[in-house]
Amino acid sequence: MKAATIFVASLLALSQPAVAQSIFDGLGGTGDPARDAASAEYEQWKRTIASQTKEHTSRLWLGHGSVTVHFCVDAAGRVADANVVKASNNEQALLALSTISSLKLPPPPASARKAAGGKCHHFSQSFYYH
């Protein structure tokens, strides 16, 4: 009888309305919808840069190696500055620099332009040739 009472009490406790909570609550969000939306826009813009870089990367074979380019994107979406910081050889460095310089990017989201205070957004891109 005691076991049956505990079982019924357990069922009653479990039958109470559940509080809906997303499994994603608290994962990456700030709790401020405007700030989260601005962050999502900025992340989408960065994905656009990565996608365009991949699309514009030449398949020209110049041997094995790698190149790292640091670059700056201004408020209009132009690559304002690009520097090779590491390269296996000059040909690969020129190819990587050409890829970055040829990007036609959309301007950063308004919230990102405001946060940067009119300054450039800095990025680093590595190219691996094999």
Specify if 121 maps to a domain. Answer: yes
Specify if 9 maps to a domain. Answer: no
Q: What is the CATH number of the domain that holds 80?
A: 3.30.1150
Specify if 92 maps to a domain. Answer: yes
Specify if 17 maps to a domain. Answer: no
Domain with 122, as residue range(s), is 62-130
Instruction: Give the global pTM.
Output: 0.68
DSSP assignment of 87-128: ESSHHHHHHHHHHHHT--PPPPPHHHHHHHTTPPEEEEEEEE
Specify if 96 maps to a domain. Answer: yes
Specify if 104 maps to a domain. Answer: yes
pLDDT by residue, tens only, the chain of 130 residues: 555 445 444 444 444 443 333 344 445 555 677 676 778 888 999 999 999 999 988 888 889 999 999 999 999 999 999 999 999 999 999 999 999 999 999 999 888 877 777 789 999 999 999 8
Instruction: Domain count for the chain, please give it.
Output: 1
